[in-house]
Homo-oligomer: A and B are copies of this chain.
């Protein structure tokens, strides 16, 4: 396995353990940062394949960094394994909610860590594309994190953006609410399926301009879910 690993901890013991583990990885790096801001910067620079995130960082809590990572288009689909104290169950749940891919309890064996890393890396294969997508009169630019119809920028929340991005990269196919939750929200959160409806509506509304109504691109597939299709409208 080849992985560049970036580690953010202040726990010396953990670091040593990491390094020991690191030896089993072909090429890894071990970094430190004292706050979420810096850490995020480093991560953006280094583009690691995997982040081992200590929940208790010296200044800020790990959750802030994790949120930051998930919010940022560039680091959104980074693999993040968090390290939590043995009895810190709340944080663990919270961490999974916010979008950690997995967690490991400290102290951990290198064996366990390896197993997890393997599992996780096996699980996630696809890297994201960063080129702007253009469909049905809509242009979505991942870099600037914006959407245009013609040249007019559209306003929408983060979730709507993700939803739209998913749709634009997966056209002409019906998805159930559950699938959308998995794909857009992430598979480790549990929210009502009806929530999807609401966001669909918000997205549709956002896609309405004075000129056109691109919201019609999102079609309801009764009894199934929704579909993004250019058949019919807003060419």
Contacts and interface: CB of A to CB of B under 8 A. Distances in A.
A158 B220 CA distance: 12
Contact of A109 (B89, B119, B123, B173): B89
Interface string A86-107: 1101101100110000000101
A173 B144 CA distance: 4
B222 A157 contact: yes
A122 B174 contact: no
A97 B115 contact: yes
Contact of A174 (B115, B145, B190, B224): B145
A231 interface: yes
A231 B139 CA distance: 15
Interface string A65-88: 000000000000000000000110
Contact of A144 (B93, B96, B111, B174): B174
A231 B231 CA distance: 31
A57 to B, nearest CB: 22
Interface string A134-152: 0000000001111000000
A111 B90 CA distance: 9
A13 B232 CA distance: 56
11 contacts: A89-B105, A89-B107, A93-B109, A93-B112, A93-B115, A96-B116, A115-B189, A118-B190, A119-B187, A157-B222, A157-B223
Interface of A: 1, 86-87, 89-90, 92-93, 96-97, 105, 107-109, 111-112, 114-116, 118-119, 122-123, 143-146, 153, 157-158, 172-174, 178-179, 182, 187-190, 221-224, 227, 229, 231-232
